[in-house]
């Protein structure tokens, strides 16, 4: 349900940096007024279009890829995204058995049919796997027994279970079947992404020629030791037809790598994702999962239990990436915000909001605080509005 009364929202514009007042009616921005000098404007929150997270695997102890998933759990996770400034997201179903994947897809669709929070916030489903590399390193934490070559007939059954809502498909491009499969999938309008792959240069090029458009969490889901050159990271970094999603939580990529990728790809080709695990939001400690025992470390890293290097997903929301990419890559606020909202929206074929009259009033109001010892900033969400309706207010 959208709000019908006229609402006025005041904050500092994320692009112009000056104070503005937005007038909102019937779920859309109907007016934008620059306020000029405002006493105490430094205490005003920043205001920006809401974030669109292309990769959320779950939250609060529940994975989307699970035989235990219910539509109520999907709706609960969808509602929690508003606390992160996320107004749209892609529930991400990862590698599992055929039956588990089908159950997950059907359950997400059912949740969107039953609950408004899910219906309004789910931008489509991201299927990450099961068509990924079987070898250690590129496979990441995906279960080996379910990694397999792409199958058009099976993918059609997945899309039928999802009622056509799979919008992003991440796959390895190592398999002989990959180029022809990619071409068929891309023709249906699904965004095909390269990820969890050990492909060579020829295979990367063939995948892009066939229609691949995105690199999923570039720099992760890779071998721990790589040939100096060529290798599949360089190949994707240099390919201008590929956008790149990045997990900039401070754990998955070192600051220097983030800076290099953003400079090489340009910010216009970079997308921030959270890659939130189902364990995100839980306290520090060890947790038994269907895959293996995992551990949340005091610094926020989510790893395979007993060591501190093998990451098994992420635990930090996308706003952490917005603040970090400003510090790591030296980009300004508007550029960082666009990497978390405008770029993913464009990739999905949406008209991205820019705080203009006529835009859907999907908004986030937030503060940026100095980090420890002045090292960058920390983003803290004050409010999130979806179609003009407040869906999160800090402290409530």
Query: For residue 387, what is the domain's CATH number?
Result: 2.30.40.10
Do 26 and 130 lie in a common domain? Answer: no
Is the pTM higher than 0.75? The answer reads yes
CA atoms within 13 A on the CB side of 231: 13
pLDDT at position 218, please?
98
Do 131 and 272 lie in a common domain? Answer: yes
Do 221 and 166 lie in a common domain? Answer: yes
168 located within any domain: yes
Do 335 and 359 lie in a common domain? Answer: no
Do 165 and 135 lie in a common domain? Answer: yes
Do 282 and 238 lie in a common domain? Answer: yes
* Count of domains for the chain: 2
82 located within any domain: yes
298 located within any domain: yes
Q: How many CB atoms lie within 10 A of CB 234?
A: 16
Q: Please answer whether residues 292 and 304 qualify as being in contact, where contact means their C-beta atoms are separated by less than 8 angstroms.
A: yes
Do 26 and 133 lie in a common domain? Answer: no
pLDDT at position 333, please?
97
CATH number of the domain residue 220 falls in = 3.20.20.140
pLDDT at position 40, please?
60
Do 93 and 107 lie in a common domain? Answer: yes
Do 183 and 321 lie in a common domain? Answer: yes
Do 33 and 75 lie in a common domain? Answer: no
Instruction: Please state, in angstroms and rounded to a whole number, the distance separating the CA atoms of residues 379 and 368.
Output: 5
Do 143 and 219 lie in a common domain? Answer: yes
The domain in which residue 31 lies consists of 7-48+355-393
2 located within any domain: no
pLDDT at position 1, please?
42
- Regions of the chain with pLDDT less than 50: 1-3, 374
Do 38 and 120 lie in a common domain? Answer: no
Q: How many CB atoms lie within 10 A of CB 396?
A: 6
pLDDT at position 39, please?
63
1 located within any domain: no
């Amino acid at each position: 349900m959208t709000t019908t009364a006229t609402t006025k929202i005041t904050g500092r514009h994320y692009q112009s940096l000056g104070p503005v007042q937005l007038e909102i009616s019937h779920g859309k921005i109907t007016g934008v007024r620059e306020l000029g000098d405002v006493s105490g404007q430094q205490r005003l929150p920043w205001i920006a279009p809401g974030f669109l997270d292309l990769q959320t695997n779950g939250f609060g102890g529940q994975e989307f890829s699970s035989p235990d998933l219910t539509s109520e759990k999907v709706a609960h996770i969808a509602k929690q995204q508003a606390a992160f400034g996320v107004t749209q997201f892609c529930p991400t179903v990862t590698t599992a058995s055929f039956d588990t994947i089908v159950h997950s897809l059907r359950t997400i669709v059912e949740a969107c049919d039953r609950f408004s929070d899910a219906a309004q916030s789910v931008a489509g489903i991201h299927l990450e796997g099961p068509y990924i590399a079987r070898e250690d390193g590129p496979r990441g934490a995906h279960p080996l027994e379910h990694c397999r070559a792409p199958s058009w007939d099976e993918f059609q059954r997945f899309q039928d279970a999802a009622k056509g809502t799979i919008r992003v498909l991440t796959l390895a491009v190592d398999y002989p079947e990959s180029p022809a499969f990619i071409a068929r999938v891309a023709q249906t309008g699904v965004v095909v992404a390269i990820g969890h792959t050990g492909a060579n240069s020829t295979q990367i090029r063939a995948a892009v020629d066939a229609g691949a458009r995105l690199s999923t969490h570039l720099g992760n889901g890779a071998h721990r030791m790589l040939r100096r050159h060529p290798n599949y990271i360089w190949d994707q970094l240099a390919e201008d037809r590929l956008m790149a999603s990045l997990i900039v939580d401070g754990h998955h990529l070192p600051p220097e790598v983030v800076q290099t990728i953003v400079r090489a790809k340009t910010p216009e080709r970079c997308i921030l994702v959270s890659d939130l695990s189902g364990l995100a939001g839980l306290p520090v400690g060890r947790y038994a999962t269907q895959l293996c025992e995992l551990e949340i470390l005091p610094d926020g890293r989510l790893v395979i239990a007993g060591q501190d290097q093998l990451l098994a997903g992420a635990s930090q929301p996308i706003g952490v990436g917005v603040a970090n990419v400003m510090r790591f890559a030296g980009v300004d606020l508007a550029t960082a915000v666009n990497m978390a909202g405008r770029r993913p929206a464009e990739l999905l074929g949406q008209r991205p909001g820019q705080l203009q009259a006529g835009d859907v009033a999907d908004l986030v109001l937030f503060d940026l605080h100095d980090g420890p010892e002045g090292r960058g900033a920390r983003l803290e969400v004050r409010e999130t509005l979806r179609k003009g309706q407040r869906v999160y207010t800090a402290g409530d």
